[in-house]
Chains A and B, each alone.
Chain A
Amino acid sequence: MPVLPTTAFDKTKAAFIRKSYAVFTPTGLSAITIVGKVSDIMGDLTVVDLKQPDAKGVNRPVRHAPSEAVESVVIKDLEDIDTVLSTLGGLTEMKVGKVQFFWVDPSDAAGKVRLMSDEFDCACVRGGTITTGGEWLKNPELKFLSEKLGPITITPNATVT
């Protein structure tokens, strides 16, 4: 007879991120730190399947294999237009380099950060439509498109200095 799990939900594992930091080092230039409130950690994995007919002749997938992966991280809702411009040199420019992300929970203990990526090769471009008028400048985004030959590594509760 199957055993019903009774494990309680551990709310301490629910991450509450209030700040996202991107430390971007364009090739040949100094590191730039970008601070954002919102970020999207994007990862699309395309999976192909192998199908076989079952006893009734209905094809069913019996094996899956990843065939393509695209990863990126987007720092969104940046009111800091100066950093967007100085990072890229223009709103339709692209810079290549290396980037590392830190996602901070305000309750993180000293020397810890809730999530941290590895430093990976990337291309940085702008996203979003920049809206101005009567309030904070809205919507500029910086997209960091992974050029790493392998998946981005994200470590929870990472040790930092």
Chain B
Amino acid sequence: MALVRSKVLFAGLKAALEAIPLDAVSDPDGAKLFDAVEQVPNKRLATQMEKLLIGAKKRVCLIVPMALHKVQRETESTDLILQLRYWEVSLVFTDVAYFKAGTRVMFGSDTNPGLLDLAETVEQAVEGKELSNYGGVVFQDGGPLSLAEKELPETREVWEQTLMLPAGDTRVSTF
């Protein structure tokens, strides 16, 4: 087995997200796209995002491990198993308009980039980035999502983006 440790992968993803500039063209060394990036478990996401936004944070991103997938490679030897490991991860992010409703959340305004712009900036910066020797980050489906929990007064508009992180391989002999 030649697995890439999950802690190393997720730390690399967090660092990549934290390094994205808000404006890569005119101010690449200026403000960052996200004020906070946190690794969280897949539960009570609205509450966890709310906690991050308190404290004058504007744009925040949650890294949520979803599942570890193993893809078996077709080989001529059925007795020597080779599987590639991939971590499926959801990024859940929003911006200053988190508390706003309507088009400003999705399409942005003079004062906030909006979810579409955030999503594309993340895609440009992170897609294909190699966090291990096993290849680049693969983006899969993404889209807007409303987070709601009982104790919160309203739903929260966020963007959820699914990624696959190459995470090493498994080599097993069955003979």
Segment touching A, from B36-44, B97-105, B165-173: B165-173
Is the beta-carbon distance between B175 and A9 smaller than 8 angstroms? yes
> Quick one: closest A residue to B2, CB to CB?
A107
Is the beta-carbon distance between B134 and A11 smaller than 8 angstroms? no
The answer, among A12, A14, A107, A108, for a CB contact under 8 Å with B168, is A107
* Number of CB contacts from chain A to chain B under 8 A: 26
Residues of B within 8 A of A (CB): 2, 80, 82, 132-134, 168-169, 171-173, 175
Is the beta-carbon distance between B2 and A106 smaller than 8 angstroms? yes
Residues of A within 8 A of B (CB): 9, 11-12, 14, 16, 18, 105-108
**Cα(A74)–Cα(B168), bound, Å:** 27
**Cα(A129)–Cα(B171), bound, Å:** 34
CB neighbours (8 Å) of B2 from chain A are 105-107
**Cα(A16)–Cα(B84), bound, Å:** 11
> Quick one: closest A residue to B175, CB to CB?
A9
Is the beta-carbon distance between A16 and B133 smaller than 8 angstroms? no
> Quick one: closest B residue to A107, CB to CB?
B2
**What is the CB-to-nearest-CB distance from B73 to chain A, in angstroms, rounded to a whole number?**
9
Is the beta-carbon distance between B172 and A107 smaller than 8 angstroms? no
Is the beta-carbon distance between A107 and B80 smaller than 8 angstroms? no
